[in-house]
Amino acid sequence: MSNNSQPQEEQAFILFAQHGWADTFHDIAQLAKSLASSNTIIYTPDLGWLNTWLEIAPLICKVENIATEAISKYPDLPWRIVAHSMGALIWLEVLERHPEWLPKIHSFALVASPVGGSDLGRLFDPFRWFPLMARDLGKNRRAIAEAIASKIPVLSVVGDIGNNTDGTVPVGCSQFARATFVRLDGIRHAPLKNHPRVAAVVRQFWEKPVIAPIQTDSAALLIAKLRSLDFTETDNQNFEKAKLIHTASDDTKIWVWTNALQVIHVFVSVGDRCVYSAYAGWRDQRKLATILKRISPTTT
């Protein structure tokens, strides 16, 4: 008679854990080890600290080549991907190149990743003239992320130390349709790459990975419309300075504030809680004015 009380060994899988900008593999490897079982194959590519300040294209190719080698060596094993910040952007680009890999992927966890385009990157290189990482971090990859999240379970974990930011990446910049979104209060950007609370969230998601439904409430639809215009999402520290210009029937509100440089900021709140913060660069001022006029014809 067999003994059914013995725990079954977890299915073997490949775990890709990718570090981010201005970093090496050491910390993300600690997170990977905390998530792995005895038969997990772990890959933690070290892209080189200096290389993460240069262009992203060679880093994408390096991760792509390592993944290709993994397929050749372990063709039957499923994948799980966990990536911090820029590392998740690299994997978005890799998976866009290789949609045929998606059926192999159990889940993809992005941690503190500026999917919508880093506001700091855009601040350093607003016209995207320089072939450095700031330009690449400022790119909006939300459409890529949403296409992937419509086909495989995707988790987006963010930190929030106040004002809807982890101190480096605004909370809203990590949000996109079809992803399960988890906010962890009180954790800054860098510690998220190997924080035990992140590990706990990833493990919980792995137990029941799902493709999240699209939100259809009026606030979500309004934010999706604003995000389609690719404004630069930022923290909400200036929300209290903003002027209310429109209130919908469900208490979704739109606010605007113009700073000393005449850059317009737009905020969306539900009740008193700010759920979207962004500004339009000088080249995008007309687009923002047009959409605000449609929403609230009395806006000047």
What CATH number belongs to 14-207?
3.40.50.1820
Tens digits of residue pLDDT in 259-287: 998 899 999 999 889 999 999 877 777 77
Helix (H, G, I), strand (E, B) or coil at 296: coil
The pLDDT value given to residue 287: 78
Identify which of 17, 15, 58 has the alpha carbon closest to the alpha carbon of residue 37. 15
Paired strand residues for 165: 170
Give the other-Cβ count within 10 Å of 286's Cβ. Answer: 10
Tens digits of residue pLDDT in 68-79: 999 999 999 999
Query: Distance (Å, rounded) from C-alpha 256 to C-alpha 265?
Result: 6
Ranges of residues in the chain with a pLDDT under 70 are 1-9, 127-128, 296-300
List every span in the chain annotated with CATH 3.40.50.1820.
14-207
Give the other-Cβ count within 10 Å of 154's Cβ. Answer: 29
The pLDDT value given to residue 6: 41
Angular region, 178: left φ>0, alpha ψ -120 to 50, beta rest: left
Reading the block at residue 257, the tokens are 């504030």
Paired strand residues for 105: 79
pTM: 0.92
